Amino acid sequence: DVKVTQSSRYLVKRTGEKVFLECVQDMDHENMFWYRQDPGLGLRLIYFSYDVKMKEKGDIPEGYSVSREKKERFSLILESASTNQTSMYLCASSEGTAYSNQPQHFGDGTRLSIL
Amino acid sequence: ILNVEQSPQSLHVQEGDSTNFTCSFPSSNFYALHWYRWETAKSPEALFVMTLNGDEKKKGRISATLNTKEGYSYLYIKGSQPEDSATYLCAFISITGRRALTFGSGTRLQVQP
């Protein structure tokens, strides 16, 4: 079974802090994704990566950056946390390259609160 | 940004009822349509990945159909059980543009015992 592990289930940070959310997958998947989920808005894509050191912006990249130095790890960085970044963050991975029709496998999510 | 719409937003049914919900997506440049189930306190789990017009997929009491020409997919649950209570998400990927899914906002299903 694919395992996608997010470093924290719950995290509380202060406004202005630099925040790192880590995600690791154990199935050698090429594609990795970061989403945030807010009530009534579904999953919104922040950034994704289809290869090591490759990244593409999703729908809401402002205020975030990502890093993929190794295939199994995809990090989401909040450069200077703000209260409107309080949300549930989900990481996912999937097999295959361009326009893959493979399902995504999700981590358990990190509920991040910015005070 | 592609528009993926799900209806209804939420649904309450009694145990044993059959139910269905809709996912609408752009009918041009279709590549694939995904369905996921997201139970409270768990991670989203893939139900189906559908790629061909007219596709029908089934997993136990849950099935899905796909019409790419008119841009919709239906998810059916036969004889709903309390354990079917979850948010059901559909997601679309186009052959053009970015290589990532666009999700709908989901249908929240609650099944009363």
Of A78, A79, A112, A92, give the one whose Cα is nearest residue A9: A112
Q: Using the 8-state DSSP alphabet, how is residue A85 labeled?
A: G
Contacts of B45 in chain A (CB under 8 A): 106
Residue A28: what residue type? D
Asked if the model's pLDDT at residue B3 lies above 90, the reply is: no
Residues 6 or more apart whose CB falls under 8 angstroms from that of A62 comprise: none
**Are the C-beta atoms of B34 and A104 separated by less than 8 Å?**
yes
Quote the minimal CA–CA distance from A82 to chain B in Å.
24
Per-residue pLDDT of chain A (115 residues; tens, 9 = 90+): 669 999 999 999 999 999 999 999 999 999 999 999 998 888 999 999 999 999 999 999 999 999 999 999 999 999 999 999 999 999 999 997 666 688 999 999 999 999 9
Predicted pLDDT of residue B97: 74
Of A41, A104, A108, Cβ closest to residue B101:
A104
Q: How confident is the model at residue B48 (pLDDT cuts 50, 70, 90)?
A: very high
Quote the minimal CA–CA distance from A83 to chain B in Å.
22
Asked if the model's pLDDT at residue B1 lies above 70, the reply is: no
**Are the C-beta atoms of A105 and A1 separated by less than 8 Å?**
no
Of A88, A77, A76, give the one whose Cα is nearest residue A112: A88
Task: Judge residue B3's burial from the number of C-beta atoms within 10 Å of its C-beta, 0-12 exposed, 13-18 middle, 19 or more buried.
Answer: exposed
**Under an 8 A CB cutoff, do A103 and B46 touch?**
yes
Among A36-40, B23-27, B46-50, B103-107, where is mean pLDDT lowest?
A: A36-40
Mutate to test the interface with B, among A56, A62, A106 (most CBs of B within 10 A): A106
Predicted pLDDT of residue B2: 72
**Are the C-beta atoms of B30 and B95 separated by less than 8 Å?**
yes
Of B91, B93, B105, Cβ closest to residue A41:
B105
Of A68, A92, A83, give the one whose Cα is nearest residue A114: A83
**Under an 8 A CB cutoff, do A101 and B98 touch?**
no
- Mean pLDDT (whole number) for B16-22: 96
Of A43, A99, A107, Cβ closest to residue B93:
A99
% of chain B with per-residue pLDDT over 90: 86
Task: Judge residue B65's burial from the number of C-beta atoms within 10 Å of its C-beta, 0-12 exposed, 13-18 middle, 19 or more buried.
Answer: middle
**Under an 8 A CB cutoff, do A106 and B43 touch?**
yes
Q: What mean pLDDT is reported for chain B? A: 94
A103 touches chain B (CB under 8 A): yes
Residue A9: what residue type? R
Quote the minimal CA–CA distance from B16 to chain A in Å.
27
CA distance A86 to A72: 26
